[in-house]
Amino acid sequence: MYKRFLVLALFFCLSFGTAVARLVDLQFNRSEELTAYRENRLRHMEQKAPRRGRILDADGRILAEDQPTHDLWVVPARRERRDGRIEITSNLAPLTADQLLSLAAGASGLERELAARNLAEANPMVRMLAGRTGMNAGAIAEKLLRAVLGARPLAQDDLLAPRPALEDLDFALAMEIRSALANPYRDEIWRGAEMRIGGKRRYPAGRVLGHITGYVGKLSAEDYLALRGRWEGEEKIPGSGEIIKQGRVFFSVKSGAPLDVSDEDLLIRLREVKRSGKLHRSQGFLMNETVGRGGIEQQYNQALRGRHRIQRLRLARNPESRRRHFEPLGAVERARNGADVRLGLRLEVQEKAHAIVQKAINEAAADPLLQRSGWQPSGIAIMMDPRNGRIHALVSIPSYDPNTLSRDFAELLKDPGIPLLDRATAGIYPPGSVVKPLIGLAALSEDAVMPGQSFVCEKVLQLGGQRFTCLGTHYEQDLEGALMHSCNIYFYHAGEALGSRKLYNWYVQTGVGRKTGIDLPGEADGILPRNAYTRRGWATGNTYHFSIGQGLAVTPLQIAVMFSVLANADRSTARIVRPHLLIPPGRAPETPEEEALALEALELDLPLAEIGIDHEALAFVREGMWKAIQGDPENGYQGGTGQRASFAASPDGRNNGNYLLEWAGKTGTAEWSRLVNGRTVKQVDHVWFAGYVPFDRPELVVVVMLPEAGGGGGWRCAPIAKELVRMWYNLPEKPEHPVPEEGALG
């Protein structure tokens, strides 16, 4: 009896000791873990995306806006309690949570195809959607898998967040799904589905503004991994915490060290954006967020996206009804719609400019020479205010329609015309003779050439065994005559007298060969050979080419900046402007984002730098550019290379000293070559025209460029520039000038 009592007492002591040890372990060792688990079970995070801001033109016309859509989101998995344990179960039967993770880890194309086929055949939601939308079940299954795998889930917990799967569902189908989800006795067809109001971006101007507005898209898996990090086998590689695009912080999570954080941390962290030298506090990265891709959508994405509501909710019980509900935990947050971005261009002007350039391209395409050369029709036109850099029109043809970009993207990539390239800001070409006004200004300002000094042009200049040619035999030419006739011989001598080092410096200080700083992503630098300054491997022949715009490459926008210097110079100072599209909003700012945009717009109007200009030298250059268009009154108004841009007011269209409008400009024809099978083969010339108007008080710079169109800038581009100016000032139609021979134009 005593032994039995002892055994029983020992058993109770061991049991009690085990229970106490367990309680101690739970209380002191696992207290934080269990508290966190309980809080996570009782808490929920609600996320609401605001309306993305609109893009407006100077008159308030809508260039981009959101249209509400009914979107289907899918929650890949859910938590369930089974046999006293918490398990994560897939909502996309017959695929399990482990299979989804395996596919995300880098499954082969065959494995993914088999998974999509299984989902299409066995998942009731996929079959229902296929029947109601008319889409193929396999296509719907692929969309669901892409939504789940796009964020690259690393653990089963990553499968609990909703992902956008199908956008812009039919209203009737959306209401049916919402009704089914609200039914407490619903079946399992819509398990894992959620309906949300989304926004589809609409671009009323289409391809006319494709390069300017840009487009929107979901953050890619690469972007997501750059922020959050990734796994390589058993090793976790933390994310960098920010994404840089074209040298600008596109998205960032504020941190002083590489990140190793959870999805939830990424949702709630704040970041600071440095814009125009000031720090602006904003929200961080949101998984599956719609962001700008290219153009204004990308450049001002942070302001357009608004402030998302990320509200923590806690499960509570009503003391009266005893019903459980979620209530806000902490301060109540509100979503804030994105700020509207207002641009300085006018939609009507942009559309007319686009039509003018397109018409000229179509006419040039009928040229047998261009047809034989395999010309890819393209053209650029820029209309800009030389006083502050505001862009009035920015045309790059061919373009793309952002409304259908996702559907047409594969075809656009294969298009030999490269419609995705914004040629105005990212296309680089030799400028040819349009730089001659700058060379003349530099030569006179540096006293390398005296005012009124002439050089004899006999069409060919010999240097050693090399021949440097001109468009024609011009005999004695001073600067004004050389600009009027585009005489290469004059500028060969002027460039040699000036020297390549000073030439290089003048190019640099006026922005040639360097990014202008326009508020669009993807701008190109251009090419300005450093050898011109160091003189290593540099010969006099190189200086000759450098003096007539050969041996360097620029964007059309850089030529617009250069001509702005010639146009806005006042007395002895000229301003280097920054081309830009953003202008202040038409009303007082109401949010921090609007205030930041207004401040940035005001700062963009300020010049980047000021340079000294010899006023007397500038007067000679301006007079030469005036003659290039209007002609020479001392010699019976004989025409210059840009005479097809003249607004002669006489009934027969001849220059007689009367003009509807006077302006200054310069034509350009740039030769270039390409290596073909190891041989240098000359290609069809690039042709240019650049000028400013009116002559006496410049307020508009116009640049027109047709890549590989040949025929001379005066022949191809001057009439386009004339039509652009006619459209801008609403000038009446007048008879055209007698058509000169092609060989007379430069």
Residue carrying structure tokens 């001659």: 436
Residue predicted with more confidence, 579 or 229:
579
Q: What is the mean pLDDT of residues 459-478?
A: 88
pLDDT at position 258 is: 46
Q: Residue 435 — pLDDT band, cuts 50, 70, 90?
A: very high
Residue 742, pLDDT > 50, answer: no
pLDDT of 92 over the 60 cut: yes
Report which of residues 221 and 398 the model is more confident about.
398
- Bridge partner residues of 218 (DSSP): 290
| pLDDT of residue 365 exceeding 70 | yes
Confidence of residue 135 (pLDDT cuts 50, 70, 90): confident
Query: CA-to-CA distance for 549 and 746, rounded, in angstroms?
Result: 13
Find the mean pLDDT for residues 474-482.
Answer: 91
For residues 732-745, average pLDDT: 51
Structural domains in the chain, sorted by start: 72-197 (no CATH), 347-738 (3.40.710.10)
- The more confidently predicted of residues 195 and 345 is 345
Q: For position 8, what pLDDT does the model report?
A: 78
Position 595 pLDDT exceeds 80: yes
Question: Between residues 275 and 80, which one has the greater pLDDT?
Answer: 80
Confidence category of residue 387, pLDDT binned at 50, 70, 90 = very high
Question: Picking from 18-32, 271-285, 299-313, 465-479, which range would have the lowest pLDDT averaged per residue?
Answer: 271-285
Average pLDDT, the chain: 83
The mean per-residue pLDDT over the stretch 40-64 comes to 80
Q: Which helix (H) or strand (E) holds 705?
A: strand 700-706
- Condensed to tens digits (0 to 9), the pLDDT of residues 505-550 reads 999 999 999 999 999 988 999 999 999 888 898 999 999 999 999 9
Q: Which of 108-117, 168-177, 427-436, 579-588 comes out lowest in average pLDDT?
A: 108-117
pLDDT > 50? residue 741:
no
Give the residue-averaged pLDDT of 21-35. Answer: 72
Q: What percent of the chain is predicted at pLDDT more than 90?
A: 42
Task: State the Cα–Cα distance between residues 663 and 445, nearest whole angstrom.
Answer: 23
Read off the pTM: 0.80
pLDDT at 90: 83
Query: Smallest Cα–Cα separation from 532: which of 562, 512, 557?
Result: 512
pLDDT band (50, 70, 90) for residue 186: low
Q: Whole-angstrom Cα distance, residue 326 to residue 322?
A: 13
Quickly state the pLDDT bin for 99 (edges 50, 70, 90). Answer: confident
Question: Is residue 652's pLDDT more than 80?
Answer: no
pLDDT for res 259: 46
Is residue 380 very low, low, confident or very high in pLDDT (cuts 50, 70, 90)?
very high
pLDDT band at 221 (very low <50, low <70, confident <90, very high): low
Alpha carbon distance 408, 401 (integer Å): 9
**Averaged pLDDT, 254-258:** 44
Among the ranges 7-11, 216-220, 359-363, which has the highest mean pLDDT value? 359-363
Confidence of residue 485 (pLDDT cuts 50, 70, 90): very high
Q: For residues 652 and 361, what is the distance between their CA atoms, to the nearest angstrom? A: 27
- Which pLDDT value is given to residue 604? 93
Q: Output the pLDDT for position 353.
A: 97
Task: Count the neighbouring beta carbons within 10 Å of the beta carbon of residue 519.
Answer: 21
What residues contact residue 592 under an 8 Å CB cut-off, 6+ apart? 280, 281
Report residue 25's pLDDT band, with 50, 70 and 90 as the boundaries.
confident
Task: Give me the mean pLDDT over the 396-416 stretch.
Answer: 91
Residue corresponding to tokens 């540099």:
538
Query: DSSP readout, 681-701?
Result: EE-PPEEEEEEEESSSS--EE
Average pLDDT over residues 377-398: 96
**Cα 90 to Cα 629: distance, rounded to the nearest angstrom:** 74
Task: Describe the strand order of the beta sheet including 664-670 as a list of residue ranges.
Answer: 391-397, 379-384, 700-706, 686-693, 664-670
**pLDDT above 90 (res 650):** no
Percent of the chain with pLDDT over 70: 82
